Structure 1
């Protein structure tokens, strides 16, 4: 699971890898409940207007806030969505059913390495230096007089992953976020609900990631 990550905050890097404009207000270090950014298809992208950008970046709360929530506190429990149960959980099922797919740009994520007997914060990033495009779901709800966007990262089991099985407490299930390859960004944003979306729920190759203990 991932509760802490470093978002992409360099404007040129954001545009180069994700084809979108970095929104204002993104924090450089994100935890559940903080405002980060996510990328989705613009609502007008189906109109056939070539002037409409294909990727729209929006600020949103890290931790999905369903339409029935009364405040943002739920984001502290909804920052990750298990791919095995996302279609059933009340917090996520509407966004999954509507295929409200998004990409979450991250330079790296943090996970605790417990192999020494204590938690060692560890940075995990792509070995090629490219940012991660993490598969997620987005939502929008009205809290009081304000519309609030939010997002969650999708995860898969990683018990047999050569790298990610080293993180979290020894007896806990190992999980990892769904990291997309650049070539599948548009396919993820356009995929239909159900099996088509589930096809993206797979592990990212261990050889394409590096882990570095934080100093």
Structure 2
């Protein structure tokens, strides 16, 4: 499962939102996203436009795991069980769908006999979107913060994604949304209809490369704005 990816740069927000953006200089986030890091997600705005929001990666942030409960990961939601798992089911039933923009994601490859980090992205190096779920949390300081997860599907038969993870493990892949389906996904309010979007992305439109782990990224400044609505 994917636990690390590269979000778009702030100057790429125009292509993410599909309209000119004048405020991107006010935004900042780490160049690579890991658990509990802040990153941009896209939701459907009240007027039908794409709305950008900063949210933490992992549906249940570590700070919201109750004391005494063993820490658990919620960066990925399995498509087969997201309607049943307590961490994801409420958001799925309410169709709190989001699209996670990125330029690539990372997976371990064992073809050399040991784990090596590989990057996976589009053939044309374009920004793409992964299907996800979002929710909100009440914070100790009285503010409301958002979190998100990415949806995964089985990839045992996918020509590219079956190359990753340990040899005996089930192969999984993020649900990459075709560009012409991103807005339909965001506006879908029927969970059963939403399942029709959860399918493999064509391997011939993707590429992969060796990508040794980068240095730890800096954290997002707490002053970053939380929402950007464009009308």
Residue among 26, 33, 37 paired with 1:30: 33
Which structure carries more relative contact order (alpha carbon 8 Å, separation 6+)?
A: 2
Contact residue 63 and residue 75 of structure 1 kept, 8 A:
no
After superposition, the CA RMSD in angstroms is 2.0
Q: Which runs of 5+ in 2 are unaligned?
A: 213-231
For residues 5-84 of structure 1, the aligned pairs below 5 Å read 5-11=5-11, 13-19=12-18, 21=21, 22=24, 24-42=27-45, 44-45=46-47, 54-65=49-60, 69-70=64-65, 77-84=73-80
Distance in 2 of aligned mates of 1:14 and 1:76:
32
TM-score, length-scaled by structure 1: 0.88
Structure 2 CA distance for partners of 1:70 and 1:158, relative to 1, 3 Å: closer
TM-score, length-scaled by structure 2: 0.82
**Matched residue, 1:110:** 106
Distance in 2 of aligned mates of 1:78 and 1:140:
14
SS of corresponding position for 2:152: strand
SS of corresponding position for 1:199: helix
Distance in 2 of aligned mates of 1:174 and 1:93:
23
| CA drift at 1:24 | 1.8
How many correspondences in the alignment? 203
